[in-house]
């Protein structure tokens, strides 16, 4: 029996050795985070701020790779198909929870084809318009949308983008449809709004704050329950008479399915450190958001959020009939 015990112990040590080596060695080369949207957009901004500090924590460069297209599903699908070794990750937003309903032929399952690592931040949205738009307040805007409907143009960054989802909620809350103008990303949409080619949009504060403060676009409301410290004069949608329009855009960090626990732990620790970094906190504040707590930057919290948000958005999208395929 003694010899068997020794052999079993040696066998167990042999099996655990590669795992221990992986934990000690990872990462030994650059890590790529796929952002499934165009460079310069709000999710890209969040990813680059967090990735820079994670590089320092991991001791390896964290590279941001923008893989836009198909409402974020192209990049997400690429991440799902990647090797589960911790060198290809994904930062995605609320679109991970809407894709299963928006895309009836989705090539991946957000709940089973990824390894959750942790939540990052929850970004408020702003109802915005070209700077010379006639409505003076959110209440006036609601009346104008009801009166003119499809004569007004609403721009979004493509099906599945946060601006698309917010637009659906806005039109549902008002009870009238505008003419939707989809773009290939937030950048070109914002360019046309700044140029007056479209009337309205709704986008994340990480992408609108600077333009609002500079007076380059008109802002009507922020889509969260409380006013923002960096935009104190901007009322909430509830204050403006539209309480049904409440939405924020949460972001999460994922790996492919089957990521080793040791790698998950290493990445999650680096994420927590990044979200506690003073520069990240300051830059997030300037953009109208805050990092999540260490308790929320966990696989369990991300899984819970994703699961509940899929259930929340399913009936809304089905009622709107806004399917991507």
Spatial distance between the Cα atoms of 238 and 142, rounded to a whole number of angstroms: 13
The pLDDT score that the predictor gives to residue 220 is 98
- Where does the chain hold its CATH 3.40.190.150 domain(s)? 29-123+249-320
CA distance 213 to 243: 24
Find, among 199, 161, 196, the residue nearest to 182 by Cα: 161
Find all residues with CB under 8 Å of 155, minimum gap 6, and list them: 163, 180, 181, 182, 183, 189, 192, 193, 198, 200, 201
The DSSP symbol for 7 reads H
How is domain 29-123+249-320 classified at the CATH fold level? D-Maltodextrin-Binding Protein; domain 2 (3.40.190)
CB count within 10 Å of CB 119 equals: 26
Distance separating alpha carbons of residues 238 and 232, to the nearest angstrom: 15
- Mean pLDDT over 287-297 rounds to 93
**Where, residue-wise, is CATH 3.40.190.10 in the chain?**
124-222
Distant-in-sequence, close-in-space partners of 265: CB < 8 Å, separation ≥ 6: none
Which pLDDT score, from 0 to 100, does residue 5 have?
44
Average pLDDT of every residue of the chain: 91
To which H or E segment does residue 74 belong?
A: helix 73-80
What Cα–Cα distance (Å) separates residue 322 from each residue in 10, 21, 153? 59, 48, 17
pLDDT value of residue 24:
61
CA-CA distance, 217 to 129, in Å (whole number)?
Answer: 6
Task: Identify the pLDDT of residue 228.
Answer: 93
Say which residues have a Cβ less than 8 Å from residue 26's Cβ, sequence separation at least 6. Answer: 86, 262, 263, 266
Beta-bridged to residue 122, according to DSSP, are 250
Asked if 226 contacts 220 with a C-beta cutoff of 8 angstroms, the reply is: no
Task: For residues 235 and 138, give the distance between their C-alpha atoms in angstroms, rounded to a whole number.
Answer: 9
Provide the 8-state DSSP code for 37. Answer: S
Q: DSSP code of 240?
A: T
Angle 174-176-177 from CA coordinates, rounded to 5°: 125
- In CATH terms, is domain 124-222 a member of 3.40.50.20? no
Q: Across residues 200-222, what is the average pLDDT?
A: 95
Indicate whether 194 pLDDT > 90. yes
Q: Which of 211, 289, 209 shows the shortest CA–CA distance to 250?
A: 289
Mean pLDDT of 54-72: 94
**Is residue 23 scored above 80 in pLDDT?**
no
Q: What is the rounded distance in angstroms from the CA atom of residue 227 to the CA atom of residue 233? A: 8
Three-class secondary structure of residue 147 per DSSP: helix
Give pLDDT tens digits for 89-109.
999 999 999 999 999 889 999
């Amino acid at each position: 029996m003694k010899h068997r015990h020794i052999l079993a112990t040696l066998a167990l040590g042999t099996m655990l050795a590669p795992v221990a080596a992986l934990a000690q060695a990872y990462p030994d080369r650059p890590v790529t985070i796929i952002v499934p949207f165009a460079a310069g957009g709000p999710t890209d901004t969040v990813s680059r701020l967090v990735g820079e500090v994670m590089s320092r924590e991991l001791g390896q460069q964290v590279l941001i790779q923008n893989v836009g297209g198909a409402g974020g599903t192209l990049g997400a699908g690429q991440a799902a198909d990647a090797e589960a070794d911790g060198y290809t990750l994904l930062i995605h937003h609320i679109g991970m929870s809407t894709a299963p309903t928006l895309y009836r032929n989705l090539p991946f399952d957000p709940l089973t084809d990824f390894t959750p690592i942790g939540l990052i931040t929850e970004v408020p949205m702003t109802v915005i318009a070209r700077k010379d738009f006639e409505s003076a307040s959110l209440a006036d805007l609601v009346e104008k949308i009801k009166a003119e409907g499809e004569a007004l143009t609403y721009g979004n960054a493509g099906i599945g983008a946060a601006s698309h989802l917010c637009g659906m909620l806005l039109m549902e809350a008002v009870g009238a449809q505008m003419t939707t103008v989809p773009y290939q990303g937030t950048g070109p949409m914002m360019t046309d709004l700044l140029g007056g080619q479209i009337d309205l949009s709704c986008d994340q504060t990480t992408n609108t704050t600077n333009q609002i403060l500079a007076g380059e676009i008109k802002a009507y409301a922020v889509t969260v329950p409380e006013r923002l410290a960096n935009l104190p004069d901007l009322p909430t949608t509830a204050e403006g008479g539209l309480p049904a329009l409440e939405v924020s855009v949460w972001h999460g960090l994922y790996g492919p399915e089957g990521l080793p626990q040791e790698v998950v732990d290493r990445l999650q620790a680096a994420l927590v450190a990044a979200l506690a970094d003073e520069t990240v906190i300051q830059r997030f504040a300037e953009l109208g958001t805050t990092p999540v707590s260490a308790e929320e930057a966990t696989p369990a919290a991300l899984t819970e959020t994703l699961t509940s948000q899929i259930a929340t958005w399913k009936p809304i999208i089905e009622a709107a009939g806004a399917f991507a395929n």
